[in-house]
Structures are given as structure tokens and as C-alpha cells.
Amino acid sequence: MPTTIFLAGASGAIGRRLVPLLLAAGHTVTGTTRSTEKARLLDELGVRAVVVDVFDPEALTRAVAASKPDVVIHQLTDLPAAVDPSKAADFAARNAKIRRDGTANLVRAALDAGARHLIAQSIAWAYAPGNQPFGENAPLDLAAPAPRNITVGGVVALEHKVLKTPERLTGMVLRYGHIYGPGTGTDTPDATIAVHVDAAANAALLAINLAKHGIYNVAEPSAAIVSTKAVTELGWDPDFRL
């Protein structure tokens, strides 16, 4: 059923693949970016583009309110195009800040705007070591050493904000595998927990119609992870491609 969507992170790797799916489904989309150049590209696609920083809560609240969304989709990250292992702690901290502070600002803005449904990107490789394959009820790796502990801490903060919101805002967390495909910097799936960027985007589209509170692993079948819940409840297909 067509609805009004506020897509935070519309110009990101998953956001760029999600936009055409949302538009093809008949949804009205407002999408955020931090770049005026990328905003022009979004406008050309048929998205109402908004240049806004998620760390500016007042500007974000105004942007979300202006779109009058039924659904808010959180696809925000702060990751470099290429990862320098010597700077892993730096980009882990930036991304954790997005997940912690950015998510908190986005949840408040969604509530203020009267949105009824929030879908958020998380990760499927934050589970604690243990028996595999990991399902959604497996514990997260809270005792991880640095810099992994920074990443896991950000995930915990994001998921808590999304899932502990008032009942009138249905929260859904999509725990994605390592993404690959167009715009991700790699065409090769991770050997353990992976998902094609198109299949990741399609999971967010499917989540709009389900609108069911909870967590969903969104990753290709492997010995490490179980995504049965996404397949059965969302109708998700890991082989989906645009």
C-alpha cells in the first residue's frame, strides 16, 4: 500500500538501491543527504531531497515534520569508501556515534512528526562467540575487545532506541550481513555473513508492509547465520536483484 516515507541516508549504499524500489511501489519519498550534489541526483530520481545533518536535532526535526511521514527508514552510516585497518578505531567510533546519537535524534523526530513505523539498519556480525548458526535471539558480543566493542556498543544503542520506543511507533531492526554489489566497493560476498545490497534494500521495502516490532537477520544462508525469520515473515529472498 503506497505511503509516505522519510528515508534517512538516501544517498548511501543501501539507500541508493532502495530509492527506486520505493518509488516503483508508489511510495512518496523524502530522502536525506549531507551533499548538495547528491541532493540534485535524488531530486532527478523523483525523491524530495533534504540536505540535513542527523547531528543537528532541530534541523532534523523540521525536515521530518515537513515530510509528514507514515514510515521512517534509517539507513545512515559513517563509513569510508575504503577501510584503512590502521584507522579502524576511528571509523568505528564515527559509525557508533551515528548509531547512538543519530538514531536518538531520528527517533525523537519521528515521534514528534507522528510517524507510526521506524525501520533501522543494524548488523548481523555483532553476535558473541558461541554455537552457530546465530539466530536473532543469540547474545551480542558485549565483552568484545577494542575496536569491536565500539561497534557493538553502537549497535546496542541503536537497537535499544528503535525497539524501546512508545507503542505507537512500531520499531523494526534489520541486521544486515556485510553488503556487496553495486556501490559497495566490492562485488565479492563475505565468506561468513554477507548480503547483496539489492537484497538488503528489498528487505527494507518488505518491512514497510509487515510493520511488526522486532529484529530480523538479513543475510545469505551460511553456517554462521540464520535468516529464516526474514524469509518467512517478510517474504524476503536473498537472491533478489534489481
User: For residue 142, what is the domain's CATH number?
Assistant: 3.40.50.720
* Closest C-alpha to 113, from 169, 68, 48, 49: 68
> Do the domain assignments include residue 103?
yes
Query: Residue 204 in contact with residue 75, Cβ under 8 Å?
Result: yes
Confidence at residue 1, expressed as pLDDT on a 0 to 100 scale? 75
240: in domain: no
Phi, psi of 19 (to 5 degrees): -50, -50
Q: Is residue 239 part of a domain?
A: no
207: pLDDT strictly greater than 70: yes
Residue 27 domain-assigned (yes or no): yes
Rounded Cα distance between 52 and 116, Å, is: 22
Instruction: Assess whether pLDDT exceeds 60 at residue 82.
Output: no
> Are the C-beta atoms of residues 41 and 15 closer than 8 Å to each other?
no
Res. 20: pLDDT tops 90: yes
Residue range 200-222: mean pLDDT, rounded? 96
**How many residues are there in the chain?**
242
pLDDT band at 85 (very low <50, low <70, confident <90, very high): low
What local confidence, expressed as pLDDT, does residue 167 receive? 75
pLDDT of residue 229: 98
Total tally of structural domains belonging to the chain: 1
pTM of this structure: 0.96
Give the DSSP letter of residue 74. E
Task: Say if residue 90's pLDDT is above 80.
Answer: no
Range of the domain at 9: 4-234
180 and 187 in contact (C-beta within 8 Å)? yes
| Residue 219 located in a structural domain | yes
Nearest alpha-carbon partner for 25 in 50, 2, 45: 2
- By C-alpha distance, which of 156, 47, 62, 167 is closest to 103? 156
Amino acid at 88: A
Peptide bond into 133 cis (omega under 30): yes
Whether 105 maps to a domain, the answer reads yes
CB 119 within 8 A of CB 172: yes
For residues 99 and 91, the answer to whether their CB atoms sit within 8 Å is no
pLDDT digit string, tens, across residues 134-193: 999 999 999 999 999 999 999 999 999 999 987 789 999 999 999 999 999 999 999 899
Q: What is the pLDDT of residue 181?
A: 97
Q: Is 122 inside a domain boundary? A: yes
pLDDT of residue 87: 61
**Nearest residue to 166 via CA among 237, 231, 219, 115:** 115
Instruction: Please state the separation of Cα 102 from the chain's center in Å.
Output: 12
Instruction: Name the pLDDT band for 238 (thresholds 50, 70, 90).
Output: very high
In a domain, 241, yes or no: no
